[in-house]
Every structure is written in structure tokens, then in C-alpha cells.
Structure 1
Amino acid sequence: MMSSRIDQLLNEMTLEEKVSLLSGEDFWSVPAIPRLGIGKLRVTDGPNGARGGGSLIGGVKSASFPVGIALGATWNIELVTEIGAALADEVKSKGAHMLLAPTVNIHRSVTNGRNFECYSEDPVLTAELAVGYIKGLQGQGIGATIKHFAGNESEIERTTISSEIGERALREIYLVPFEHAVKKAGTWGVMSSYNRLNGTYTSEHNWLLSTVLRDEWGYDGIVMSDWFGSHSTAPTVNAGLDLEMPGPARDRGQKLVDAVNAGEVSQETLDKRVLAMLRLMERVGSLDDHRTHEERADDRPEHRALIRRAGAEAAVLLKNNGVLPLTGSGKIAVIGPNAKVAQIMGGGSAQLNAHYRISPWQGLETALGSGRLDFAAGCTNHRFEPVLQGPFSVEYFANQTLSGEPVHIDTMEGAQAFWIGNVAAGKVDPLHFSARLRGQFVPETSGEHRVGIYSAGFAKVFVDGKLIADAWSSWTKGRTFFEEGCDEVVGTLPLEAGRPHEVVIEFATKDFATLGLAAFACGIGRPLGDEAIAEAVEVARNAETATIFIGRNGEWDTEGSDLPGIVLPGRQNELVEAVAAANPRTVVVLQTGGPVEMPWADRVAAILEAWYPGQEAGNAIADVLTGAAEPGGRLPQTFPVRWADNPAHSQDREVYPGLEGKVRYEEGIFVGYRHYDRVGMTPLYPFGFGLGYTSFALSDLVVDDSAFESDGNVVVSLAVANTGDRPGSTVVQLYVSDEKSSEPRPAKELKAFEKVHLQPGETRSVTLLLDARAFAWYREAAQHWLVEAGSFTISLGQSASDLPLSASLTRATTLMLPV
């Protein structure tokens, strides 16, 4: 519906004013139109926080919430809704009106670098959580921007590759979260993906943006491009892309004015795009927002508590031989590269400058006291050398040759930068400048050190006047900085403990491929050898319980780069084997953005997957380990025994990672647990699995199928009882099987679920509703959903491999459903 005010504004706007609303003014805003009293629309990156208008590094501090896969592991729609509302507070604190979130692409493979940011391998779990997130956010007047629409399931050649996906797989798997976001949550924003879909860029894909999204689903919000993700003028506007981001305009502006005047874009089409923007601005209140832009760091106690609670509810207990929760008063060995480093988030556009970071060591120290804890690092797990900390002086030059006098002098806290928008107080062109940094490094130990540099631009590192690492002379595109940067270049040299060594970094911008940015990171590290593992073994041997904090970090789990595999980086597997041999009470705490291979799983006493749970990471983990909180998580993604077991792994490179500009979704609808069922393979840990500190029983299944024949609806109820002696939670999961279909279908598909919290001895009735779509598959030839005549089985339990309750249903007729 169009308000009379919007109608009036549209009628009063000139062609140039209309066009101005269809492109960004700068990196984060859409321009105001003062003549008509139209305020500026501002957006900010998410989804695990609200960064504001600053760089990926530094900037105004923000609350860091659990990442997407952690929220997926909660299976708790109410909790995710609560987080959405809290994120609305964060967006407001940054003076913005819209959050670029949630991310709902499907976990097609186990190596997608951005899986951490997405919820699940399952479309229904993803969709229901996305609906909660959007309702929480928009209920507070902040617009959601669900992304990336569609087919962005890997980070390899992500800005150009064509995802080749059949329509049935699109309809049944990859489009489901977006469909629910439109039909159930009424999302105000959709972001198109970078990639092509079946040969056409999604930003100019008429079938996707107009036929499906608007005509079939009835969407009335806006579609914006991913940053630098639009590639044309008339084709994007005509296909349904409302907003080109970021600004200033590249393919719009005067080009769009000319296209309208030439008849390449009709006035009617232009007005549709402008009306969508005005409707959004009215919804989020930016039409009348004429305040001076201000960003605040609101460190709210209620957000701290919510993040801590959500982190514990996301933690998945995969194994427990009675060692958890921690009891007694003996020594606890705290071991591993993630023990004293708070791994709170993944990498890429989801990064932000958190208010604080609590490490597992700090969490356990607060809970148990430092006197009970002994530490050993054991090994490292970084992808890049640890960033060199400052301070650094920085000289900026208004050229790319470091020549002449600097036009601006500043300081930096560390040897890393992500320059976008305003650089050097606006005294240089952000895409054409150079900079020289000077600082010092004081080694803690003497010996051979590694100096690493990677950059989106040209860079060199000098130590004590000698060139050590050169990413300038033979710069080659790699997998850093959203595929705009090179891979790390590393040099070595001996350094002396306690002696200040001068470090000089030279940087110059270069032409970019897709994303206009300049960035670098420089680090210095000392490799850990056999002695570090030996020290960890000794610490573990002298402790009552050994806890090992291992996994990955945001250098590995990051936008712009897929993982090379799912083996733990470095010597972490070796460390676990050695510690477990020394202490049978070994607890492994994983922090990853997805599955890892665990060759030691049968030799440790307990395994906890804690993901990246936000700024309260260490406190949330300590709460679970000590029993102050229940490990409430259940796996949102199947953990395979090995990388080669996952659905997208193939000897055919076009299936994954892609070949000659195409990645073919050969597995179709058989993603995640559907694949393992199809091939008869037992995973390491199944979808939906997770243990707790209490036990549950499911019983008294009742299925009301009285309306199944007429309209396809079914009502399922059952009793859930906490049979243990602690409060706890479980997830009731309902799967549907079509016993005989005319086309291949998965052995079972998740269609409903509910998170249930119960006190000891408490029993509760749970009711789950199924509509006709829960029994349907998409028939490409006829362009409709089809529920076939025949028998269906409903199975219920607590994971995809634990389904003790079942019932059969039968239909005598077929039922056709519209798209």
C-alpha cells in the first residue's frame, strides 16, 4: 500500500531527484533531498552486531553477539527474536535505520568460508530463525536486509561465478528462507548476491527479483545490491534492483537519467523503484530524520547478559564421559591456542570493534579462581602471523609513489588497516594514495621470527632497515580482503629478546577488481615447536582435568575465502592426542565456524563445540563447563567423519569449488543430512544432535490428520519429560517422509521443531503444526507444489538419527499448491 504522503512526494520529485534515491551517496547512506524534506537513509553491517560507519578495523565500539551458526545451534526462535530486538538498539546507537542482516545462505559444503555467518544446512531451521530475527529487528522500527539472494554458498570467485542450480533445488532448499522472510516476517529489505545464478547476475535477474520475489511472493520492500555487486544501468533497474550500493553512483546517476530519457527504462518502472525506496524510508523513519549523524558505544548490561545466555545456549555438547560439568577442587590444565585468546567472531564484513573480549582463561579464572588453573599454549592455529601491535606513526601521500611531503600524519594502534570512504581526514583519494608506517617490535624471546604481510594494494615490510617481506614487486591476487588482496608473503630473520627493532611498512593502492578498497595486515610471530607440546603434556599430567581450547578463528572462517579443508590447522590434532594420552580426563572445547575432522574423538572424555559466541565467549564457555548453564545447543549442520563425505565434495571441480566460471549444484535437493541418508553414510555427529546435563523422554504421540485429505493440514502432539535431576532443554524435531514418490525425495526432511526447557521431573505437552507444504515437493514442469496421493511417515525425536516416535498418514488424492 502507498501512503498519500509518498504519493505526493513522488509527484513532486524531479527525474534527477528520483534517480538520486536509487544509488548510495557514500559507503553507508542514501542521499537526502532537502528541497522536499526527505532525510538521509543510513545502513550498517551485521549480522552479529552493528558496526556503524567505521572500518572493519577499529571504529566506534559495538556489542558482539553470537555468530549465525551459533544462533542456528540454539534452535530457539524466541531467543533469536530477542537478539533481533537487541540488535535494533545497536543499530540506533550507530545512527542507522537498517541492518544488513540476517545471512541465510545454506551450508551446502563444509568448507564455505562464510558458513559461520549462516544458520544451517536445513532450509526450515534457517527460515524459522530468520523470521524470528527479522520480527525482533523490525518490531523496533529497524529494517532487516536478508541476504544473499541467491546461490551464494561459497566464497570462491564469489563476485563472478555462476551458481548452476536447478529450479527444484532452488524452490525446496535455497529460496525457502527468503520466501519465509517475505511471507511470514514481512522483511523490508533483500540484498542480491554477488554471483550469477544460472548465468545471469542476481542483481539483474528478472526471474529472481521480479517474477519470484515480487509477483509470486508479493514482496513490497526494496532490493539492494551487495557492495559493488551491480554491473549495469537499465538491466538492473528493469529486473527489479531498487538500490545500487555503495555510493557515489557508478551505473546510475546521470547514466540512469540518460537511460530514462532514451526509453531504456520506462517512467513507470522508475517510479516503482522510487516508491519502494520511499516506502522503506517511511517504515524506518528516515524520511523525517534530519539529525546530525552520531555514533555511540552503548555497552548495555542487558546486552551483556543476553549475549552470555545465548552463547551458553548455542554450545553443543558432543561427548561426555561424566567429566562435565567440572566438579571437585583439583587443578585444571587450560591448554591450547584459543585458551587465552577470545575467538568471538568470524572474519569479513561481520567484523566489528567489540566493547571487550572475554577469553576462556578469563571466564574460568572468574568462575574457579586463578589458583586452580595452569596454562600452556601447546601450539598455534593462526592462518597469518599475529598482527603487530603499535603504536605506529602513519604518513599519508596524495600519490601512489610515497613521494613529496606527506599531506596528513596520524597514528595507528596496530599494523593493519582497512581503508574505505574517508581516508587521511579526506586529504587523499581513498583509491589513489600511499602510506608509510613506522613503529617498533620488541620480541619476548630470541630466535628466528616470521614476518608476514598481505594487502589489497602493494606493500613492503622493512625490519631494522632491511626488506624482509615484499608484497609489492610481484604482487599476485590471492584469497584475502574479499579476494581483492594477495596471500600472505612471509620472510624470516633472527631477532633479539628485549631489544626494540624498527619496523617500517610501505603501502600503495592498486587498481581493484570488484570492490574498491585498500587494506593490509602485517604480523610477526615465533613458531612453537615440540617443546610447547611437551610443556602442555606436563601441565595436563599434573592436573585433575585437562581442558584444551582449539579450533579456528576469523582468519580461517571468513568472507572472501573458503577453507582448504576441515582438518584442524597446525599441530592441534597432535596436541590433543598427546594431552589425552597424559590425562584421561581431557575435555576438548572447539571454536569453529563449522565441522572439523576429529581423529581423536574416541580418546578424549568430552567434546564441546562453542562456535564464535560473541564478546562474552569465555564467560559463556565457563558457564557450560562448570554447570552454571546447560549446554543448550544442537547441531545445525552435520559433522562428517572426513571432508570427502560431505555432499559438495567431488572429483568434478565444476561441482566444487567451480570450474571456468561455474559451480554446479549437482547434488540438487540432497544437501546435508539428506545426502547422508541417501548414500547410507553414518556421520561423525548427526544433524540436530547434542547432549545435555539431564535426560529427556518423548511419549504419547497423537496425530490429528482429520484435515489431511481436504487441505493437507496435520496437528501433531506429544509429551516431553525431563527424566533427570537438573533443569535442561531439548529440541523436539519432526521429520516427514514420503514413502513412495514419482520423483526422488529425501528419506526424511525436517518440517517442524520446538525448543523445550523443563525442570527436573516436569512433563509438558508440545504441539506442532504441519501445512500442506510440509508434504509437498516442487514440480518444475508444471510450476507448482505437489502433495501426491499415498503414504507419509511422521517421525519425531531429538536428532536426525534419534527418532523413536512415528506415525503413518495416507492420502487418496493429489493436492496441487501455487508457488
Structure 2
Amino acid sequence: MTSELDVDEILHRLTLKEMATLLSLSDFWHTAEVPRLGIPAIRLSDGPNGVRGTKFFRGVPAACLTSGTGMGATFNTDLLVEAGELMAEEARHKGAHVVLGPTCNMQRGPLGGRGFESFSEDPVLSGMAAASVIQGIQKSGIAATIKHFVCNDLEDERRSVNSIVSERALREIYLLPFQLAIKHANPRCLMTAYNKVNGEHASQSKGLLTDVLREEWGWDGLVMSDWFGVYSVKAAIDAGLDLECPGPPVVRKIDTLVHEVSSREVAITVVHDRVRRVLELVKHALKSGVPVDGKEDAENNTAETAAFARRLASEAVVLLKNEGKLLPLKPAAKIAVVGPNAKFARIFGGGSASMTPYYAVDIYSGVQSKVDYAVPYALGCSIEKNLLDLGKLSVYDGKQGVRCRIYKEPADCPQRTLIDEFHLDSTKLSLFDYKNAQLEGNLFFMDFEGELHAEEACEYEFGVCCLGTTLLFLNDELFIDDKTHQKLRKGGMGVCTVGDVRARHLEKGEVVRFRIEFGSAPTLRAGDADADGGGFMHVTAMKKEREDDLIARAREVAAAADCVVLCLGTSPDWESEGFDRTTMDLPGAQDRLVEEVLSVNRNVVAVNLSGTPVAMPWIDQVPAVVQGWFNGMESGNAIADVLFGDVNPSGKLSLSFPRRLEDNPAFLTFRSNKGEVVYGEDVFVGYRYYDKVGRPPLFAFGHGLSYTSFGLQNLAVSITQTTLVATVDVTNQGDIPGKEVVQLYVSPPETSEVERPKKELKGFRKVLVQPHATETVSIEVPLRYASSYFDAERHQWSVEKGEYMVLVGNSSASPLLSAKYELTKAEFWTGL
């Protein structure tokens, strides 16, 4: 097989069936191969915050990096290029030629289930962050995939919902990040969204995929669908969708596509165009040096990888509030750590972003590493939706976890065929991608064994739910039956059983032997399995503790400390692909926990781990607040570095935090109403809305404090025929080095023909300034991008003549330096 494919020659030699084969993946992660012509299969891998590889079940460990909103909060494009470079190196270790990231959708409001995956509510920050990550990924020949094109901004009925959006908002808010990423980074691949846009599924929209993407923007990469996001044969192929994902295809079945071509419903020339782009991607992949069908390994778990993950995470941390200079903490002080996110490392959100990390550092461990005494701790309350993973609480043969055996036949069969056996550290398993050469399909049976050792005398709750069938035995007695009488409910990624939760009293030191008998998805009795492959199983357990007792213990720990680090937030249970949040409120009793801790100790540092905004009704009483995001495997260390002042915080909010859910611009329309979602806020997303209606949010877009202070002065603005240039002096007025983010906004002429935002971010730059020093920062922005709005009447970008105001500061709500420029001639333009 040659490393250089002659695409034109191959196109002439392919049979129609071979071409049809190439237009979908062959399995979940690989393109199809045509050995006769030397066309190999290349590998794709998920990559919103780390390159997982080809497995959900028993995945090879990988580097887990900061989530999208955290990356956006760095406002550091150079750093994000480095993040992309690390993703590319990770891809090589996973044998992947294509990274399925970055995600570049918009946060219309705070409740989007996948909001944490994307960068920002602002299209310029989103587009430049995406471009930087793409540049890093593609430096060494790995292909990046920007997604999800376009308006995949909520999860509610995501495969069928119709996003109804004005052409102007579509262009200025939702398409602009993709436009900027293509202009500055030229990603090799693009993934379409599940949803409809103005009545047509994005994956079969000629207006989006051909008219805008191909012809107007001149982009010539490969367009793939999201997984199971193809809804037609002819419409999608004609529109420009090159690759159906995953395989074997649901829609582009070989015989169907051959029939469409032979009946002249689909033109062979269009098929050639689609196949050409697949072959061009394969050709590009072969040049990357990544072996085809390469092995996956975890050998990039190095000190260098850890150091970068920690540096990236620390720059993402945002200091929201610091009254009385409570931070940085002094190691000599007696510090207590309290809260449901203290000893649980909430390092990623749920769904495609989930993975098996090399390791995960929680906040408690990070704080403990900074002091020379045993840090007091209390849970305070629980935020687990489905109890804790029984496998994490159990042992088998002296090792944490359970023994798993997989058979062809069920447990009641007298003679069974054992096909697999291994040790697992979890009983919360996604099994849709389990494969075994001895299986002909997706039907298999798993037996698990382990022991639970009771730490104290109390009631323990056990829970079961699944996509398949599950029996849980305790000491050889059937305890929970999720097989005989099943009911279905909607789960995060499809359907699952309602299951059951039962309690059992255990004495301190009691050992409970348990056995789990699981049948894969085809054994489901309550209905048809709505999943590819083996389904999933969740078997969980937790001490049944009264909320009052947990909070009383937290009060006791807090009262004895000089300062309390109170670890709050959400988790993959609450922020995940597959569903949206229903409220901004912190889950569980966290708000009560804050009040109770404050009643005994006013020196509280609240650290919030969430991918998107949460309500903070206690904000006026808590002196110090830190936004820690879903911050990757080094999250605990990075947050501790900021808390103790080893790192001067420099993160800025990548999205506005409203005071109440009702205040956000999409409050009335952020859901599907019988298959429709109206983007009623139009172009007034995020800070654009708060500015326009004069309603200050709790924390503004771009806000973030430092342990030093900065002064901005001497703003100068000039324009050429093509470029706006702004320079400003940034002075560090304090005694320690620090990084400041200079943000450039532009206000439109007062004579504008249309209603426009009061100001819009057009450029930014992060700069390191030494104590009592001054750095001159220069920001250049293409003049058209700085000055335009999209004229829906002309279907073109419009540059109005008139006087524009340049506003420069360190947040969207900070005092802003201002200067003017004037355009004496109007113009219209299209494309990049």
C-alpha cells in the first residue's frame, strides 16, 4: 500500500458499490477500506476535551483537558494552540487520524446540556478559540473537526427540533464562529448538527453546506454527520454531506445508494464529489505518519503532559470575588475543605466529553498538597442523581473493583460459553461498543462479583437501572430485580429502565458479597433497545445519610477552621449531552449548606465546579468566589495553585452569569415546543442582551479578578483601508506579576438602519505584566469584521458609514476607555 493516494486514478477505478461503501463509516470510529485499490481505513476519535480513542467501555486512559467554557475563559489563543498540539499528540497515541473537535456552538442561555463543551456566548471569542485549537491539532498532520454546524444549542429533542432563527442572527451569532475558524485555521473536517435550521435538517441543507460553506466561504474539507444524524439519502448527498457516521450506515445502505444512482435520483457526478472528499481525507491522514489500525496506548501520561494540563487549567480559573483579600490563602492558617465537589473530581461533563483520564486530582487533594497537616473535611450534602458507583466502593480478591465474566448464554443456562474475563473498577458501564470475535451480534451476558465492606453501622441504599436486564444478588439472595417487570423512562442518551432503589441495614465491618447478572440490550423486556450494541448498566450504592446530619458535620468542621474552602457545583449527572438542565439552582442542598457554613465561619471561599452558570443566592454573604469549571485531570492542583497564590488568577468569564434564570435572554424560548424552538432573542445573546435592556448580570462576560491590579490608559485607534488597530498601555499597579486580558468592543453608529447591540467584542489579547511595569498592547481587527452587521434584505454583510466607538477595558462591564473612528463610505461584502 502506498502512502500517497492518487485520488483521480482511484475515482476512475472504483465500482459504484465501493463508492457507496466509502460514503459512511464502517463502524463507530473507522472509515471504510477498499483493499483492492489500497484504500485503508482511518480512525476518528472524540475530542471535546481529550482524545478518548475507540472505546467507551474499558477505554484506554487519555489526557483529560479543560472543558470548552474553561478554555474560552483563558482568553489565551497561544495557550489554546498548545492545547491543540497536545490533543494531536494524544491522537497519535490513540492511533487516530481525525479528532472530533472542537465544539463551537453557542450558549444562548445557561441551561444547555452541552454548553460546557463550547467556548463562549460570544461568537468572536468562540471562533478565535476554535481556530487556535484547530491550528494546534493540525500542525502535525492530524485533522480537526469543527462541530456542530449549526444551531445545536440545546439538547431538548435535538434530532428533530427545528431551530427557527432570523438570517441576521444566524449569520452574526451562530455561523460567525465557524466562519472565523475557517478563515484563520481551515479545519479539515466539519460535523453537521442533529437539528433542523428553519425547517430543514442541517445535514441535508444545501443552503448551509453548499451555498454558505462551499461557495461563499470557499471551504473544501470533508463534511460528516453527527452520529446517527442523517435523515435522507438524496437530499443529504445533494446538499454536500460527504460521510454518514457511524457505520454500518442507517440511511446510506449500499443497495439503497446504488438504486438511487441507477434510477438517476442521485447523479453519479455528485457521488464522485462526495467520494473525492473522503479520499482526500484518507490521503491527508496517510501523510500524518499515524499507522492505520494502530494500537492505542496511555504512554503520553508524562510529566510534561501533566504540567501543561495544570497550566491550562490554572489559566481557566476565574476569581469572581475577593472581599477583604481573603485570597490567596496562607498555608499557616487552619483550612477546612467542605462540600460535594471536594473529594469528587468533577473534571468533565457527560456524554461525548466523558472519558477515562490518566488520573484525576480533586480539590481536597490539591489543598492537602499545599499544607503540612491533615486537612479537615466534610461532605456537607450529596448531589449524586443515582447514588455512587458500586464498583468504586467494592473489592474483589483484595483489589478495588469487581470481577467480570462475559458469556454467550444467560446465567440460568446449565452449560455456558465463557468468552471474556477481566477486572473492572466500575459498575456504571456503557456497553454499546463492546465487541468480541466470538459474538455474532450484540447479545451477551455479564456476571459480576465483589464485596462491599460497611464502614459504619447504617442503612445502605442500592440502585439498579439499565438498558438490558439486571439482577442484583446480596449474599446469594435476589435483592433487586430489573428484569421481570420493567418500565422504561427517558435517559440521558436514550431510554433506560426505571429500575429500583432498595435499602438494607449493615453493621459496621459487615461484608456483603454481591453478584450481578446482566443481559445486554437485546434482552430488554420493556420495549425495543434504543441503542447500538450492548446497552448499559448502572449498579450503584451509597450510605443513606440524613441531610441534617451531613450539614451538622459540615458546621462542626467549619466552626473549628480559620477558613473554609467550600466546594460546590454540578457534575456529569447534571450537565451532559442528551438533556438540558431545568434550573440554574445548585443541585441538592448546596445553597442550604452555604448558609449553614456561613453561620459558623464567615471566612468562606466558594469554589464552583460547573461548565455553565449556576445561581448564587448567597453571593452577598460569601467574601470570595472562584469559578473552577470542569477543568480536566489537573483541576484540583490548578485550583489549589490559585487559592494559595502560586498562580495569580487571570481567567475571565467566557459567558455571563445571570442573577436569576428568568433574567437570561432565552428564558422564554429555551426548549422545544412540539418540535420548534424560536431564537426569540435574535442577535441579543448574552451580554448583548444585558447591555441593551440595562439589566446587569450577577457577573459580566469578560469579568475576572487578579491578586494584583491593572490600569489601562493611552488608548489610540487608527484605521487603514482594511484594518482597525487599537493600542493601549497596561500598567501592573501591584507587587506581583500578573496577566490581564485587554478586551476591545465596538459600538455602531447612532444612525444605524437596524437595531444593533450597544457594543460587541471584536478583539482581545492577554498580556503578562511585571510589577509596576507597563506593557503596550496592540490589537488588530479586520475593519469589515469590526464594523459590519448582516443585512438580511440584501443577504450580505453591510458596513454602514458613520461614527463608530472603540471601547477597551478588562470586562464587558468595566469602565471602558473610548476612541472613535469614522467611515465615510458604505459597502456590502460576502464571504471570508
Identity of aligned residues (%): 38
> CA offset at residue 518 of structure 1?
0.8
Give CA deviations for 1:542-591 in whole Å, capped at 9, x if unaligned. 11111111111122111112112111111111111111221121111111
Give the equivalent residue in structure 1 for 2:398.
none
Give CA deviations for 1:30-73 in whole Å, capped at 9, x if unaligned. 12222222222110111211111111x43211111111111011
> Which of 729, 739, 764 is the matching residue for 1:729?
739
> CA offset at residue 355 of structure 1?
0.8
- Please say if 1:329 is aligned against 2:332: yes
Q: Aligned pair in 2 of structure 1 residues 471, 537: CA closer, same or farther (>3 Å)?
A: farther
Give the equivalent residue in structure 2 for 1:763.
774
Give the equivalent residue in structure 1 for 2:274.
273
Give CA deviations for 1:176-233 in whole Å, capped at 9, x if unaligned. 1111222221110000111122222211111111111111111111011111111222
Read off the aligned partner of 1:310 and give its amino acid letter: L
Superposed, 1:360-759 pairs within 5 Å as 360-371=363-374, 373-389=375-391, 390=394, 391-394=401-404, 396=406, 398=408, 405-408=415-418, 409-411=420-422, 412-427=424-439, 429-430=441-442, 432-464=443-475, 465-468=477-480, 470=482, 473-480=485-492, 482-486=493-497, 489-505=500-516, 506-509=518-521, 510=524, 511-513=528-530, 518-528=535-545, 529-650=547-668, 655-705=669-719, 707=720, 711=721, 713-738=723-748, 739-759=750-770
C-alpha distance in 1 between matches for 2:600 and 2:74: 34
Q: Aligned pair in 2 of structure 1 residues 646, 462: CA closer, same or farther (>3 Å)?
A: farther
Asked whether the 8 Å contact 2:331–2:370 carries over to 1, the reply is no
Give the equivalent residue in structure 2 for 1:320.
322
- Please say if 1:782 is aligned against 2:783: no
- What SS does the corresponding residue of 2:6 show, helix, strand or coil? helix
Asked whether the 8 Å contact 2:321–2:705 carries over to 1, the reply is yes
C-alpha distance in 2 between matches for 1:290 and 1:699: 54
> CA offset at residue 486 of structure 1?
4.8
> CA offset at residue 625 of structure 1?
0.7
Give the equivalent residue in structure 1 for 2:350.
347
Q: Aligned pair in 2 of structure 1 residues 584, 415: CA closer, same or farther (>3 Å)?
A: same
C-alpha distance in 1 between matches for 2:6 and 2:469: 51
C-alpha distance in 2 between matches for 1:4 and 1:62: 31
- What SS does the corresponding residue of 1:175 show, helix, strand or coil? helix
Read off the aligned partner of 1:140 and give its amino acid letter: S
- What SS does the corresponding residue of 1:484 show, helix, strand or coil? strand
Asked whether the 8 Å contact 1:41–1:286 carries over to 2, the reply is no
Give the equivalent residue in structure 1 for 2:203.
203
Asked whether the 8 Å contact 1:336–1:549 carries over to 2, the reply is yes
Asked whether the 8 Å contact 1:455–1:520 carries over to 2, the reply is yes
> CA offset at residue 732 of structure 1?
0.6
> CA offset at residue 746 of structure 1?
1.0
C-alpha distance in 1 between matches for 2:197 and 2:747: 30
Aligned residues: 805
C-alpha distance in 2 between matches for 1:548 and 1:132: 34
C-alpha distance in 1 between matches for 2:290 and 2:89: 17
Read off the aligned partner of 1:521 and give its amino acid letter: H
Stretch deviating more after TM superposition (195-204 or 496-505): 496-505
C-alpha distance in 1 between matches for 2:633 and 2:288: 34
C-alpha distance in 2 between matches for 1:264 and 1:547: 65
- What SS does the corresponding residue of 2:370 show, helix, strand or coil? helix
- What SS does the corresponding residue of 1:41 show, helix, strand or coil? coil
Give CA deviations for 1:728-770 in whole Å, capped at 9, x if unaligned. 1111111111123211111111111111111112211111223
- Please say if 1:143 is aligned against 2:116: no
Q: Aligned pair in 2 of structure 1 residues 195, 314: CA closer, same or farther (>3 Å)?
A: same
C-alpha distance in 2 between matches for 1:586 and 1:677: 31
C-alpha distance in 1 between matches for 2:335 and 2:481: 41
Give the equivalent residue in structure 2 for 1:21.
22
> CA offset at residue 514 of structure 1?
6.6
> CA offset at residue 818 of structure 1?
1.6
Superposed, 1:139-218 pairs within 5 Å as 139-218=139-218
> CA offset at residue 497 of structure 1?
3.3
Q: Aligned pair in 2 of structure 1 residues 345, 5: CA closer, same or farther (>3 Å)?
A: same
- What SS does the corresponding residue of 1:603 show, helix, strand or coil? coil
Q: Aligned pair in 2 of structure 1 residues 102, 4: CA closer, same or farther (>3 Å)?
A: closer
- What SS does the corresponding residue of 1:184 show, helix, strand or coil? helix
TM-score (norm 1): 0.94
Stretch deviating more after TM superposition (244-253 or 751-760): 244-253
Unmatched runs of 5 consecutive residues or more in structure 1: none
Aligned CA-pair RMSD: 2.1
C-alpha distance in 1 between matches for 2:799 and 2:532: 45
Read off the aligned partner of 2:673 and give its amino acid letter: L
C-alpha distance in 1 between matches for 2:411 and 2:206: 45
C-alpha distance in 2 between matches for 1:569 and 1:45: 28
Give CA deviations for 1:154-180 in whole Å, capped at 9, x if unaligned. 111112212112211110001111112
Asked whether the 8 Å contact 2:310–2:634 carries over to 1, the reply is yes
Give the equivalent residue in structure 1 for 2:813.
801
Give the equivalent residue in structure 2 for 1:86.
86
Unmatched runs of 5 consecutive residues or more in structure 2: 395-400
Give CA deviations for 1:2-25 in whole Å, capped at 9, x if unaligned. x99222222222222222221111
Superposed, 1:69-148 pairs within 5 Å as 69-148=69-148
Q: Aligned pair in 2 of structure 1 residues 660, 398: CA closer, same or farther (>3 Å)?
A: farther
> CA offset at residue 91 of structure 1?
0.2
> CA offset at residue 410 of structure 1?
2.7
Read off the aligned partner of 1:647 and give its amino acid letter: P
TM-score (norm 2): 0.93
- What SS does the corresponding residue of 2:61 show, helix, strand or coil? coil
